Amino acid sequence: MKRNFDLAAVRPSTFFLCCKLFDRSHRAQKKVRIKMKHLKLAFHYSVSNFHYLIGLSLLPAISSRYSTSDLWLMWDGILRLNPQLLVLCSTLLALSTALCFMKRPRPVYLLDFACVKPGVACQCPRERFMKQSVGAGVFTEENLTFQKKILERSGLGQETYFPEALLASSPRPCMEEARKEAEMVMFGAIDDLLAKTGVRPREIGILVVNCSLFNPTPSLSSMVVNRYKLRGNVLSYNLGGMGCSAGLISIDLAKQLLQVHRNSYALVVSMENITLNWYMGNNRSMLVSNCIFRVGGAAILLTNRRSDSRRAKYQLIHTVRTNKGSDARSYGCVFQEEDGAGMVGVALSKDLMVLAGEALRTNITTLGPLVLPMSEQLIFFASLVLRKVFKMKRMRPYLPDFKMAFEHFCIHAGGRAVLDTMESNLELSRWHMEPSRMTLYRFGNTSSSSLWYELAYAETKGRMRKGDRTWQIAFGSGFKCNSAVWRALRTINPAEERGPWTDEIHRFPLDVPTVEMVKD
């Protein structure tokens, strides 16, 4: 017969004894975790400095057996016995060194970047958003309640930005207003960037603009060429329909072009346009986009000029792109289509987070060997052998500690669920997640430009030191997961920077309450 446990029936002495034992057990587990952490760090430093340890261990043996004069006599004997062989070896060494130097990829530097910060008139607190939704007169009461819940649980704050055309008393979603939004975002960011760098528009040889949902004719890249009178042979590209990961795709494209064109500047503009893409229907999978996407954009200036390396902020170390579009579920998890009433919107699948996790695993499988220290790679390999060769199925797959490879993480601020999942999967601390969470809170999901608001946050907080490595991760429709790795070339002084966070960085970080995500 099953008995119910009654806490009141337990004698006080027994209860306190149980509490004491539990406390001891908890403290013992904590000590074990701390010891394991120190042991892992010791292993990491030993493996990373293995060649130095070998050299130091051999040095006493060599010095005890041979004096400096003995070593010099041995070298002199080799020169006299076979000088032709020495000349041949030296020539081959010089040729191979020159060949390696010529074949290695040209370094790509990030000179500077700028993020647009719209005016106060475009601020859209939750109450104003709901007022506009009610005023549209197309949403049912149930779906208005649904949108309100999404807003409350989204992680967005009260100062995000929305297009002026949609905030008007009579919303004006038309091509003219969409162009105005695009001009405000693109030109605002580019003007700020050119002022920061002092680069003249005529010096820019490569232009890449990405915007997923708004693709007018002439293109957005043509609008930039026309506004800044870029030279006639500029290589301009306009990327559309590639989702929130298009920003890093643009960076990778610019990187590939800079391997071919010497002494060039590449301007990358990342943005999204909302004016013509506010969903006016009642399909809940499409209403989520209305609640989380906000106005934002960034302009980035890359170069391969070695003369600019001294004033550049970062060097691009790696770009890794993962495309899961061959899989039907991945292809359709973010899909623009008409609903039953013929209204166009972007539908988000319920499998989105699962598919994003699969894409991330594929991406880090490629990125890991490029960035992880040898100690982490050895532990991962040993875990793989134990699970696959020795059939230890109960053993959990080892997740490499990417905190040993990077000091900073910029994870696409796609929503609270995205950030919660990434924090858990990569075992990151609140400090590591702070730029992403604060960007989501202050600016919302600005699509492909969110990574640059996050990097600007780290700079304005004074966290960026010379040699620090930053990992940018973005997800997008298709389904894609892309990564970029940057190394800081100098310590960034926040007092010398002007960015979207400059006037208000003292307010952050804020404590954003954790609540369960709304379910359909």
- Please give the Cα distance from 436 to 444 (Å, whole number): 10
DSSP state of 356: H
Model pLDDT, residue 44: 52
Q: Which residue has the tokens 């999967």?
A: 425
Amino acid at 25: S
pLDDT-above-70 percentage for the chain: 80
Model pLDDT, residue 72: 65
Model pLDDT, residue 169: 87
Give tens-digit pLDDT for 488-513: 999 999 999 999 999 999 999 998 86
Give tens-digit pLDDT for 193-214: 999 999 999 999 999 999 999 9
Model pLDDT, residue 98: 73
Model pLDDT, residue 365: 86
- Please give the Cα distance from 282 to 262 (Å, whole number): 52
Model pLDDT, residue 15: 44
- The answer to whether residues 292 and 445 touch, using CB atoms and an 8 Å cutoff, is yes
More confident residue, 79 or 460: 460
DSSP state of 123: B
Strand order of the sheet with strand 480-488?
235-239, 204-210, 265-271, 297-303, 108-115, 314-323, 480-488, 469-476, 408-411
Mean pLDDT of the chain: 86
Amino acid at 366: T
Burial zone of 365 (CB within 10 Å; 0-12 exposed, 13-18 middle, 19+ buried): exposed
Mean pLDDT of the region 359-363: 92
Enumerate residues 6+ apart whose C-beta is below 8 A from 183.
223, 227
pLDDT for 19 beyond 80? no
SS (H, E, C) 131-168: HHHHHHCCCCHHHHHHHHHHHHHCCCCCCCECCHHHHC
How many CB atoms sit inside 10 A of residue 343's CB?
A: 15
Mean pLDDT of the region 242-269: 96
Kindly list the structural domains of the chain, giving each domain's residue range(s) and its CATH number in brackets, ordered by start.
Answer: 60-89 (no CATH), 108-507 (3.40.47.10)
How many Cα atoms occupy the beta-carbon half-sphere of 385 within 13 Å? 6
pLDDT band at 7, cuts 50/70/90?
very low
Give tens-digit pLDDT for 35-55: 454 455 454 545 555 555 565
Which pair of tokens denotes residue 57? 């261990």
Give tens-digit pLDDT for 380-399: 778 777 877 777 766 676 77
Q: Supply φ then ψ for residue 321, to 5 degrees.
A: -115, 135
Model pLDDT, residue 378: 83
Q: How much is the pTM? A: 0.83
Helix axes 141-153, 126-136, angle to 10 degrees: 160
- The answer to whether residues 413 and 474 touch, using CB atoms and an 8 Å cutoff, is no
- Among 210-219, 307-316, 352-361, 466-475, where is mean pLDDT lowest? 352-361
Give tens-digit pLDDT for 432-453: 999 999 999 999 999 999 999 9
